[in-house]
Structure 1
Amino acid sequence: MSHSYIYGFHAISKMLQHSPASCVELLCTEAKNSRLRSLIGAARESRLPIRFESRESLTDLSGNAKHQGCVLRIDDSSPSALTLEQLLQQNHPRSLYLVLDGVQDPHNLGACLRTADATGVDAVIIPKDRAVGLTAAARKVAAGGAESVPLLEVTNIVRCLKDMKKAGVWIYGTSGEAMNAIYEYDYDSPVALVMGAEGDGLRRLTAQQCDHLIKLPMLGVVESLNVSVAAGVCLYEIIRSRMAQE
């Protein structure tokens, strides 16, 4: 059994709510506030073992992060419950996927998962290699999105996009060099929004698999937005466009 740790009230609460079978043990300081008492109560209701530790011990387990007095040990050895093939079998006319092509910062991944939950994204897809995985920091920033939105790790993003296209998904990649703005399409079909890595953007082979390359107008002096901010703007524009057609 492979174990890892997540921390923070919100991330742990959502993990207890959505994935109780993966929870192994709650480690926390003495309950000195209502939020921690409530979390301990939820753990007891789930019959989860609870162990009280010093704040220093929790700081070590969380990698010096702001753990808020609680750390959850989870079993992360089980494989993902959903494969790409299974995901595409559930495809529907308004399916929406977010593909992150090599995002490195766990805070960006977490922010993308949080926005994905807010915008009803069906799944977030990331590469297994050369990209950040679902770390404790990413889970905390996701504020529950990591537990509510399926996260698929694929071996090859290019092959993944090819399979998605065969399943009827239209691929929209974001690029500052695109000719057309995001507002020029209606997104009235299954859509995958592909975001590139921080700094480098979309890789060439990934961009070649996109049906359309789109951009956000940049009217000031900065050349680009943070990847998680850009993903949020793009996802909400897709939602706005679809709602306008109803």
Structure 2
Amino acid sequence: MTKSERKRALRGRAGRMKGGRGSGRASTGNVRLWGRHAVEAALLNPDRVHRKLWATREGVESLDGELPQDFPIEYADTPDLDRLVARDAPHQGLVLECATLEDRLLDEVLDEADGRPLVFLDQVTDPHNVGAIMRSAAAFDAAAIVTQDRHAPPESGTVAKSASGALESVPWVRVVNLARALEDAARAGYWRIGLAGEAEAVLAEAMPAGPVALVLGAEGPGMRANISGHCDALARLPITDRIESLNVSNAAAIALYAIASRSGA
């Protein structure tokens, strides 16, 4: 079936949105994703259990790739979709309800990492930042991001939209004890580098030849003392004194690029 034929078939199967109103929340155990990249990546992820797609006709036309056969779609107008998501969420005419992703275990990720970098986030709670870091992790082939169960945002439409599809491809490991997880990474051969603005060494000086676990703290307080104490080295990015610091997602992107550049040298 060609792309145009598939879209005609989808239009034929789709119903109209009943009532045109929603709570803005997904049912228990589910999550609502919005925006073309986030929705498209979730639809193409075989590990997702999909529930329902609400969409404008223009939103469906924007999708690429194959959608599951007989997928339940309800067509809706933009104001109706606005009520299904967070206020002012840029849904681009697409809102998907699906089950949350299954938990990933750190041991499992370490077995599959093959030396690719890991990203540990210490109490980074802003979902926009976590999503943006996940996007950079996908761009620079990181094996996973690791956060605590607590003091980290849940899987959400905001994280998925900021990740621009990377939520579906970058494993997100949630652990009870981040310090213990760093110890597990060290035993697996990772050199743990914590980014800290007060560090004496710049990142290039602290970089090892082997696998790197990059550790970043929340904006403002930075890493907690216990977490920085579990790093093999602390390093800073060589920014000028014209600015005090970088956003944590920008810092992650620069550091991951530096790791990737070193690996490819």
Structure 1 length normalisation: TM-score? Answer: 0.90
Counterparts of 1:20-31 in structure 2, within 5 Å, are 21-29=48-56, 31=57
- For residues 46 and 16 of structure 1, the distance between their equivalents in structure 2, rounded to whole angstroms, comes to 11
Q: 1:187 to 1:23 in 2, by over 3 A?
A: farther
What amino acid does structure 1 have at the position aligned with 2:76? E
**Matched-pair identity in %:** 35
Could you list the runs of 4 or more consecutive aligned residues of structure 1 that deviate by over 6 angstroms after TM superposition? none
Counterpart among 62, 72, 75 of residue 99 in structure 2: 75
**Correspondence for 1:56:** 79
Are 1:213 and 2:234 counterparts?
Answer: yes
- For residues 168 and 179 of structure 2, the distance between their equivalents in structure 1, rounded to whole angstroms, comes to 26
> How far off its partner does 1:46 sit?
3.6
Q: 1:80-125 CA deviation, whole Å, 9 max, x = no partner?
A: 2x31111222343x32101111112111111101110000001111
What amino acid does structure 2 have at the position aligned with 1:52? Y
**Correspondence for 2:244:** 223
Structure 1 contact 110–146 (Cα < 8 Å) conserved: yes
Unaligned runs of 5+ in 1: none
- For residues 162 and 127 of structure 1, the distance between their equivalents in structure 2, rounded to whole angstroms, comes to 14
- With 228-237 and 215-224 compared, the bigger mean Cα shift is at 215-224
**Correspondence for 1:169:** 190
**Correspondence for 1:194:** 215
RMSD of the TM alignment (CA)? 1.8
Counterpart secondary structure, 2:83: helix
Unaligned runs of 5+ in 2: 1-27
Structure 1 contact 101–126 (Cα < 8 Å) conserved: yes
- For residues 57 and 95 of structure 1, the distance between their equivalents in structure 2, rounded to whole angstroms, comes to 43
State the aligned residue count. Answer: 237
Counterpart secondary structure, 2:125: coil
- For residues 218 and 20 of structure 1, the distance between their equivalents in structure 2, rounded to whole angstroms, comes to 40
Rg larger for: 2
> How far off its partner does 1:184 sit?
0.8
**Correspondence for 1:158:** 179
**Correspondence for 2:39:** 12
Structure 1 contact 186–242 (Cα < 8 Å) conserved: no
